[in-house]
Amino acid sequence: MSLSIGDKAPDFTLPTDVDHQTITLSQLRGKKVVLYFYPKDSTPGCTKEACDFRDNFAAFRKHNVEIFGISRDSLKSHKKFKEKYALPFQLLIDENGDVCETYGIINKKSLFGKTFLGIQRSTFLIDEKGMIRAIWRKVKVPGHVEQILNDVQ
């Protein structure tokens, strides 16, 4: 599925890094939402991206923006990652990759000559009515969070 700016953001319910809590996207109407999809907890690029969101968290909150990181990592992995880097936003667990598939960010990757399906680092800005207002695919981490913040303002 290929999503475009102006499309309604596909709804989902996912578990969070907090035991027995879930987030349903449609329940966040009235707020802007940043969904950032990343490949793996505690890897260099993903850590840098998460810390950039952490360091700019107050600026996003000032503009009524909720931030959620989504990967296929487990609850245990998310908890460890969040605690180690003092992340003030929730990480969502999409272990089977259904939401990643829905948002079209699962792609073929290759590493050491082996091909596999993995998450393409991507970010979606969703407005107060649940519409996609911006999409960043194949994200390069340096400067990315600042670019999103500029678009939110």
Residues involved in catalysis: 46
Pick from 55, 52, 35, 56: nearest CA to 44 = 52
CA 15 to the chain's CA centroid: 14
In angstroms, the Cα distances linking 77 to 41, 84, 105, 134, 148 are 7, 11, 21, 29, 26
CB atoms within 10 A of CB 111: 8
